[in-house]
Copies of this chain bind each other. A is one copy, B any other.
Amino acid sequence: MRAVPMSQVEIRDQFWEPRQQTNRSITVPHLFSELERAGNIPNLRLAAERKREGYQGPVYMDSDLYKAMEAAAYVLQLYPDDPIREKLDEVIGILERAQTPEGYLNSYFQVVAPERRWTNLRDDHELYCAGHLIEAAVAHYEATGSDRLLKVATRYADYIDSVFGDAPGKRLGYCGHPEIELALFRLYRATGEKRYRDLARFFLLNRGKKIFAQEHNIPLEQYDGTIWQDNVPLTEHREIVGHAVRAAYLFAGATDLVDETGDERVLQMLLRVWENTISRRTYITGGIGNEARHEGFTRDYELPNRTAYQETCASIALIFWAHRMGLLLEEARFFDALERALYNGALAGIALDGKNFYYVNPLESDGTHHRRPWYACACCPPNIARLIASLGGYLYAQTESDLWVNLYVESRAKLSLAGREAVLQVRTNYPWDGTIEVQVVEGAPLEFGLHLRIPDWCAQPRLTLNGKPLPLEIQKGYAVVRRLWQPEDRLALELPMTPLFMEAHPRVEADRWQVAIQRGPLVYCLEEIDQSAPLERMAVDTTSPLRYRWEPNLLNGIGVIEGGAVVLDDDSAWGNRLYRPLARRQRATFRAIPYYAWHNRQPCPMRVWMPVG
């Protein structure tokens, strides 16, 4: 199946559309303002003016701009009259002027260190930056029809293709930070130019040759390439290791490779590593990367909460990978993971105000972990912006004869199915309510197979057609209804959203004897501001029922979950004792809010996993 592109999908819901509006009106302008302030755009102006000094920031500054440009392109797709078009055109002009005659384009290596071009592939992010340029260019081309940025990108890609490859005169190489691989597949699909596909394949299949050992004069026996995904050849990965974003970007590109070439060994590796990722190394909030030191992984089941890294970019990278796996294998489980990461780990990365961001997303905070308007390494803010803006592209997928609904968002999709134009309408108040109504509002009667994802969180889905129960026929995690759809047909899927206490596998020591709360796709958390006692003295009573209640005026409208709690005595009850016989504990009520909404009021302690009292 192929994703139905965002250009054919119109989101008109209460959850995502306001976020896309905020993304357009606040986030994207904020990004460009920060990119001017922090130096990302000025750096490229210096390159355009052939200046050799004044560069600001780390070596990968261009990439943050490119991701913001990609987000802006999606905004233009959604809102063609948005004033960001002008800024985008200005920046494209800078890039056109900055690009060298041979096609190279990287402000750091043009302003600061021309002599060091391609000398430190491990650390210098040149191909990574190029990848983000390419993604922005494809998005801009598809959104606007203008090929100005695409020309810059293809010239650069052609130049890169002239440097790296198997052919005589070309060199072995790949980037310490994967990204260009998936970008080149996008460019190939947008342009049809097979050299880009082959170059992506070259970067992917040569990876693991430990070239960074030679590049940095490290004896092979002392070299550990794990963080750069250079520890083993691509087909030999068994676990997800190293830097989380690099790993998931790599595997997203590798999934494209399988899609394009059918490489069975790469597919087997992907299935193996996916299984390891999801069943041993993912937070309940859907994010990955458990430790700060390498922004990545340590070992199976090590998922600490207070020190969880769960970088926003890593949740997004997992979404990219999951989306490709789901499209490739037509299995709902990949979209289950995508949904979990989207509504929780990724979405927590941006404040409700649209201009404050988390880079690191712990599952427990003492109240001192704050979102910031910008970061010295500002990869996350534009990444979440491009995800939100392009969300329409994640909802549906199709073949000639079948349609898959992968995410439930109230929307309309224009489709070309069985040789005919049609419009599918989905109505739902997801993620707050699990009722989904599907109707072919244009183009019926039309025969096709409709595949509705049954989320892994839902134990008892129910399906009705025109009010009558329909037996569930589940294929690869989807309820499939194949029929000649009539204009008046209304298919209703009920996914009962019961608030649930969740537990983690007993090998996850950090969560042992604790519970999390989930309802539908949303993982909840407790913020101290909502409680009657200090959060560190509260436990939940799992024998008390959980109650869900819509709070229209809280945090832009959220469903809260309340339940029974037990509370440890305050200090005054203890006097100077340090230990005492176990006393009866006070009862109280707790209130939980969706994890994505935390830290949007006053800073205070927060927990996802709660002790049981």
Residue ranges of A at the interface with B (Cβ–Cβ < 8 Å): 275, 278-280, 282, 284, 459, 500-509, 512-513, 515-516, 536-537, 539, 542, 568-571, 574, 576-583, 611-613
With A503-B582, A504-B579, A506-B574 already in contact, 5 other A-B pairs whose C-beta atoms are closer than 8 Å: A282-B578, A505-B578, A512-B611, A513-B539, A513-B613
B-chain residues with CB within 8 Å of residue A505 when the two chains form the complex: 571, 574, 577-579
Q: How far is the CA of A586 from the CA of B579 in the complex (A)?
A: 29
Chain B residues near A611 (CB, 8 Å)?
A: 512-513
The 7 lowest CB-CB distance pairs between A and B, nearest first, are A501-B582, A506-B568, A513-B611, A279-B576, A500-B581, A503-B582, A284-B579
Q: Which of B275, B506, B578 contacts A537 (CB 8 A)?
A: B506
A611 to B506, CA, bound (A): 13
What number of copies of this chain does the assembly contain? 2
Residues of B within 8 A of A279 (CB): 576-578
Cα A503 to Cα B580 with chains together (Å)? 6
Q: In the bound complex, what is the Cα–Cα distance between A577 and B504 (angstroms)?
A: 9
- Can you list 15 residue pairs at the A/B interface with Cβ under 8 Å? A278-B578, A284-B579, A459-B581, A500-B582, A502-B579, A503-B581, A503-B582, A505-B571, A505-B577, A506-B536, A506-B537, A506-B568, A508-B578, A513-B611, A516-B579
State the CA gap A512–B569 with chains docked (Å). Answer: 12
Q: Is the CB of B536 within 8 A of A512?
A: yes
User: Do A504 and B578 have beta carbons less than 8 Å apart?
Assistant: yes
- State the CA gap A580–B505 with chains docked (Å): 8
Which of A506, A507, A537, A576 is most buried by chain B, counting CB atoms within 10 A of its CB?
Answer: A506
Give the shortest distance, in Å, between A304 (CB) and chain B (any CB): 14
Residues of B contacting A275 in the complex (Cβ-Cβ under 8 angstroms): 576
**Cβ contacts under 8 Å, A509 to chain B:** 536
A585 CB, nearest partner CB in chain B, Å: 9
B579–A503 touching, CB < 8 Å: yes
Q: Are A569 and B508 within 8 A (Cβ)?
A: no
Q: In whole angstroms, what is the CA distance A507 to B505 when docked?
A: 28
A507 to B507, CA, bound (A): 27
Chain B CB within 10 Å, residue with most, of A578, A581, A612: A578
Knowing A542-B582, A576-B279, A613-B513 are in contact, say whether A569-B506 is a contact too (CB < 8 A).
yes
Bound-state Cα–Cα, A512 to B506, Å? 19
**For A583, what are the chain B residues with a Cβ–Cβ distance below 8 Å?**
503
Q: Which residue of B lies closest to A569 (CB)?
A: B506
A536 contact set on B, CB distance < 8 A: 506, 509, 512
Please measure, in the bound complex, the distance between the C-alpha atom of A280 and the C-alpha atom of B275, giving whole angstroms: 46
| A515 surroundings in chain B (CB, below 8 A) | 582
Q: Note all chain B residues with C-beta closer than 8 A to A576.
A: 275, 279
A101-B581 Cα distance, complex, nearest whole Å: 60
Best-buried of A516, A583, A611 by chain B (most CB within 10 Å): A611
B581 touches A502 (CB 8 A): yes
Which chain B residues lie closer than 8 Å to A539 at the CB level?
513
Closest to A513 in B: B611
Q: How far is the CA of A507 from the CA of B579 in the complex (A)?
A: 11
Q: How far is the CA of A512 from the CA of B539 in the complex (A)?
A: 10
Give every chain B residue within 8 A of A459 (Cβ-Cβ): 581
